[in-house]
Structure 1
Amino acid sequence: MRGTAKLPTKAQTGERPDAVSALRTSLAALAADLSIEVTPKEALRGAAGLGELPPRTRTFITRLPKGSFEETLAAAMRLRACGLNPVPHFTARTTADATTLARRLDRMVVEAGVEEILLVAGSNDRPEGPFASTIDILKCGVIESSGLRALNVAGHPEGHPQANEAELHRALDAKNEFAARTGMPVALVTQFFFDAAPVIAWEERIRVLGNKLPIDPGLHGVTGMTSLMKHALACGVGASVKVLAQRSGNLLQFAQIHAPDAMLGELAAAKAADASSMFRNVHMFPLGGFERTVAWANSLRQGRISVTPEGRVTVAA
């Protein structure tokens, strides 16, 4: 299913005559360094579509609840051998201590050529060591001495089940402070979503509050409604699940393959309308549709997109 996205209004664009061109420019910017998620098993077995990714594509390696560090390291090495840029997940609550963290980061950098990671708190109810949050990790001094060139951390447009809004703002301030203090590039990566409006509003809100970190909004991949619902419930995606539930009420829609064209268009329209927008590149969550998602992403990168005068965005299948 292909969706639609509205172009910026005349008021938003300042009566610019070529809004379609502005939208295309934003679409190209969001696709310039597009990243994608892969499981360790998909990386190790050489999942269909993996070889179709352009060289140096930032390829995030999911840390599954029962996964091991050695499996993640092997996946990172395989991705590097394929000419890709592996970005492994590190979870604060599964890290025993600072020494273990330093040793594991060193192995990632030296053995797999890792240049950046995604650092998240993790879903464990209780931490295995002294790190209950990403902020605890950032305070320990290991990241900046690890040899990493960049850091990715989680952004939470729809809130977080284990933190209130005030706590999220304090954490965001600490992430900004870390970037300013160390000079290390830090970016926010969001979970996938099904309604772009709350994400656009969140970006504007945290920018007003002082956020200076670029944001890579997460988009679901090209997959079926069953897979979308399963992953949404498993990941605890917030208010936009209601939008997905409304769409899944139609049996015909339930059987269709869904692509994130409409949400991509809305993000691009917001970026085109506001030069200060912190949206940087989209991050893809294939959710079981890896090969189709890679094909969609490659079409986006190659500019094989149609944009109607009314602002409907369609990425070539």
Structure 2
Amino acid sequence: MEAVHPEPGAALHDVLQDFSLEMTGKDVPRLQEARAAIPPGTRINVTYLANEDLQMRVAAAEAVRDCGFVPVPHISARRLESAQELQTFLEALQRAGASSDVFVVGGDPPTPAGPYEDSLAVIRSGLLQQHGVRHVSVSGYPEGHPDITDPVLWQAIEAKAAALREQGLRGSVTTQFGFDVDPVFTWLEEVRARGIDLPVRIGVPGPAGIRRLLGYAQRFGVGTSAGIAKKYGFSITNLVGTAGPATFVRTLTERYDPQRHGGLRLHFYTFGGLKATSEWIGEFRGERQ
């Protein structure tokens, strides 16, 4: 398990010490541009989008590795048309030296394209560890999911935590991004109350244009009421300019109690802005030291 802090009110520097980032298969040029601003060994998730193919996904994971970071390729269960497709992808990642860490998610399609109806089915397949996977991250939804009820979400995360133990795989949870820390802490306390001790990476939106942030929030069912937006530091009635996550991150770390909330780190959704997000983190950390 990732280290936890010995005292409540964990230092901001510590929580940001092991942050992770997200990119798409098309973001390799942006990764190269941002490389100098990203600490060596940073975990970088590589998404699994419908408009990208196996070669693009594997090439992106390989580029992450070649830059001195840890690739975390996504596997979208419902997009897989067969067990062979999953095996082919894992084999390619293994050849590229990028299969030790993966993020397994159900994916957007409402109907599975093949035999995997959800991420749990992929975990239980046994194929992951056969191809060098040692650590699996799964999804968490502090504000719920627009298409899945809360009881089903809780049942799923409990089942995935149990399956990871049964399969002998290390695991963690990476949450959807949000703008309000209140549901994050409510959800975290429920996670721990249910006996789920996996380390958690809280999703944070990187600095981006306000219009773009709201567009992504709407797409993923994230709450953006006027009150929440004001706490975060922008107005939903004024879409000009950009917004950064300083208020969210500061409030999150001030309220974080490792005894109640367990292992906690941050995962930044970059929305294509790898360099802007990485530089923002560096500057923010510098201001707080």
TM over 0.5: yes
How far is the alpha carbon of 1:27 from its aligned partner? 1.6
Structure 2 residues without counterparts, runs of 5 or longer: 1-6
Aligned-partner residue type, residue 26 of structure 1: A
Distance 1:190 1:115 in 2: 20
SS of 1:282's equivalent in the other structure is strand
Larger radius of gyration: 1
Give the superposition deviation at 1:242.
5.4
The 1:241/1:290 distance shift into structure 2, 3 A limit, reads farther
**Partner of residue 45, structure 2:** 60
Moved over 6 A (4+): none
Structure 2 partner of 1:298 = 282
- What per-residue deviation string (whole Å, max 9, x for no partner) do you get for residues 79-119 of structure 1? 21111211111100011222321221121022243321111
What letter corresponds to residue 299 of structure 1 in structure 2?
E
* Superposition map of 1:34-183 within 5 A: 34-44=19-29, 46=31, 48-183=33-168
- Which one of the candidate residues 235, 244, 254 is aligned to 1:248? 235
Paired positions, count: 280
Return the letter of the residue paired with 1:119: V
Shift of 1:40: 1.4
Report percent identity of matched pairs. 28
287 and 156 in structure 1: CA distance in 2 versus 1, 3 angstrom threshold: same
How far apart, in 1, do the equivalents of 2:236 and 2:22 lie?
Answer: 28
- Could you tell me which amino acid in structure 2 is paired with residue 81 of structure 1? D
d(CA) in 2 for partners of 1:125, 1:74: 28
Deviations 1:36-82 (A, max 9, x none): 01121111564532342121211111222312121101111112111
1:283 to 267, 270, 288: 267
Q: Give 2:12's aligned residue.
A: 27
Specify the code of the residue in structure 1 equivalent to 2:260. Answer: S
Q: 1:275 to 1:131 in 2, by over 3 A?
A: same
Asked if structure 2 preserves the Cα contact closer than 8 Å seen for 1:29 and 1:280, the reply is: no
Cα distance in 2, alignment partners of residues 52 and 295 from structure 1: 6
Tell me, yes or no, if the aligned pair for 1:223 and 1:288 is still in contact at 8 Å.
Answer: no
Q: How does 1:167-206 map to 2 (within 5 A)?
A: 167-206=152-191
Alpha-carbon contact 1:51-1:82 (below 8 Å) kept: no
Q: SS at 2:33's partner residue?
A: coil
**What letter corresponds to residue 306 of structure 1 in structure 2?**
R
The CA distance in 2 between the partners of 1:116 and 1:162, in whole Å, is 27
- Relative distance call for 1:121 and 1:134 in structure 2 (3 A) is same
State how far apart, in whole Å, the 2-side matches of 1:126 and 1:45 are: 33
TM-score by length of 2: 0.88
| RMSD after superposition | 2.2
1: CA distance between counterparts of 2:177 and 2:86? 27
The DSSP-based 3-state class of the residue aligned with 2:52 is: coil
**CA–CA distance in structure 2, aligned partners of residues 138 and 298 of structure 1:** 35
- Corresponding residue SS for 2:11: helix
> In structure 2, do the counterparts of structure 1 residues 291 and 110 end up closer, same or farther at CA, with 3 Å as the change threshold?
same
Q: Per-residue deviation at 1:240?
A: 4.3
**TM-score with structure 1 length normalisation?**
0.81
Equivalent residue letter for 1:84: F
| CA shift for structure 1 position 250 | 4.5
Partner of 1:312: none
CA distance in 2, matches of 1:241, 1:85: 36
The amino acid that maps onto 1:208 is: A
